[in-house]
Structure 1
Amino acid sequence: MARRTDGGRPDVPRSFPTRRFRNRRTLPMVALGAMAVGTAGLLVMLPAVSNACQVAPDTALVPADRVRDAIAPGSDVLIVGDSYTKGSGSTRSEHGWAQDIVTDLGWDATVDGLGGTGYVNTGTYGSSRVTFSARIAAHRDLDPELVLVQGSQNDWLVGTDQLRTTVESTLREAERQWPDAVIVAIGPSAPQPRAEATGGISSAVAAGAKAAGVTYIDPLERQWFTTMNSPGFAASDGQHLNDVGYQYLADKVADALDDLAAPSDEPQCL
């Protein structure tokens, strides 16, 4: 099926283009020093997580075989998110976790990252056309096998009930638009100490995703970013991630998707 490469994006500044990615290289090198710090942080702060598999309650929402097909190399993937998907804080602020995971897993992907936005928040644009729901609708001509909706940490001024309701309606719309696609929501993934301020947001997004029947990957609950590893992964502003941090986040999301694709009789560690 012919697919649009412009993504049908709303009228937003050209500095935030929808980008198409194909597999271009093998797994990139990750700075071992920073990763060592991250590992140490997990071992010190989270011995249970680092030594044992935790079974997430939402892993059975999508059959494992569907996930395996959706994440296979060459799959058509749509990623919609905020500045983390765009790559703010990285080299030239244009290479985030989304670009890394697309390259690493060999997807044929459309990446739509727009800084400051969320399920409700419109950032500095002041237009509902930049919310996740509107941008998902703008990609209606695509035919993705996997849809990843990342973020919501920008929705900090929104009441939890409104956020939960909006998350549910947004993800339900994605399901209606692409009934054969695997839809996965990914929550706030800020480094510490900002991560601690996103607890209410993450809980609201989790509730909305559950109501919509969509699998939710929760970086905050799984403590991907700790007080020990965050200094090595945070950008200079302390709000975003650096190149190593985005690769780390990409690896974590890829691992979570692999776990969702594991046979149901195997432990799944998200």
Structure 2
Amino acid sequence: MARKKKQTLAIILVAILALASVGIVGLAVAKTESAKSTAVFTPPPNTEIPPIPMALWVGDSYTEGTGVREAAQAYPSATSRSLGYMPIIDAQGGTGFVNDGKKNVATNVPMADRLQKTSATPKLVVIDGGRNDGVADFNTVVKPAVTSYLDAVKAKWPDATIVLIVPYYIEGKGVFRSFTNFYAEEAKRIGALAIDPMAEGWFAGMNTAPLIYTDKIHPNEAGHKLLAEKFTARLKELGVSAV
């Protein structure tokens, strides 16, 4: 009888120890699960996405995108996107450094009159005008207007990269040789870059007829696409890229 009592007590003791072990293990598992749960909900470090830099293109109907159905297809917008910039277009048909373009639209004004109204803070400023300034004497009227405009641009955005585009037409009509040396001098003076599509032979030996819009002046969609490719490649060569 005593022997049976001892066996019973031993069994009870083993059971108690087993239950205690289960409790300890359960507590450990609970703590581990709690730790995992806490880790899952730990907030990630605070990261900020830098804003996309802006590229401002200033000019006339070429820059405005005449010849395409959508503004996004125009070469200033397409070039900007390829280089990693958000495009901003300040362009009015018929305008220039001197010409007010009112023959196109009564409310148009020269580029300088639009400058102070531009509230953007671009990292890149591309000046792509001058095609319509043949109405004035280059040396006595246009050159002083250009110099004044460039000084104002530099003062407004001193840290921006400024690019001067020597006026051009895809079909080669109206080559603006007077701007070539002048822009080279002005670029050096204000620390800008200069691109001369005609002097650099962008369209040399090319049949440009399929690239011209029905008005025989502006690039069509294929022309804008080509220009975007040319500008993107040239600006990358010059180190102008936000990507």
Cα displacement (A) at 1:101: 1.4
Aligned ranges for residues 81-120 of structure 1 at < 5 Å? 81-91=59-69, 95-120=73-98
Deviation by residue 1:93-138 (Cα, 9 ceiling, x = unmatched): 8842112213333322311221111111111258897212222221
Match for 1:238: what amino acid?
K
Q: Structure 1 residues 227, 193: CA separation in 2 closer, same or farther (over 3 Å shift)?
A: farther
Q: CA deviation at 1:234?
A: 1.4
Aligned to 2:167: 188
- Tell me the distance in 2 between the aligned counterparts of 1:181 and 1:81: 17
Rounded Cα–Cα distance in structure 2 between residues aligned with 1:176 and 1:93: 29
State the 1:204 CA deviation.
Answer: 4.5
- Cα distance in 2, alignment partners of residues 229 and 100 from structure 1: 23
Aligned match of 2:232: 254
Say if 2:192 is the partner of 1:232. Answer: no
* Secondary structure of 1:112 counterpart: strand
Cα distance change of structure 1 residues 230 and 121 upon mapping to structure 2, 3 Å threshold: same
Q: Which has the higher helix share?
A: 2
Please point out which of 81, 99, 102 is paired with 1:121: 99
Q: In 1, are the aligned partners of 2:102 and 2:108 still within 8 Å (CA)?
A: no
Residue identity over aligned pairs, in percent, reads 31
CA distance in 1, matches of 2:238, 2:172: 29
Task: Tell me the SS of whatever aligns to 2:116.
Answer: helix
Match of 2:194 among 216, 219, 228: 216
Residues 169 and 212 of structure 1 are in contact (CA less than 8 Å); yes or no, is this contact kept in structure 2?
A: no
Q: Return the alpha-carbon distance in structure 1 between the equivalents of residues 147 and 130 of structure 2.
A: 13
> How many pairs does the alignment contain?
189
* Structure 1 position 192, deviation (Å): 2.0
| Corresponding residue for residue 114 of structure 2 | 135
Q: CA deviation at 1:149?
A: 1.0
1:194 counterpart SS class: coil
- Corresponding residue to 1:159 among 132, 137, 146: 137
Cα distance 1:129–1:191, how it changes in 2: closer, same or farther (>3 A)? closer
- 1:205/1:165 Cα in 2 relative to 1: closer, same or farther (>3 Å)? farther
Segments of structure 2 that go 5 or more residues without pairing to the other structure are 1-50
- Cα 1:119–1:219, aligned 2, differ >3 Å: closer, same or farther? same
State whether structure 2 residue 228 is matched by structure 1 residue 241: no
Structure 2 length as normaliser, TM-score?
Answer: 0.68
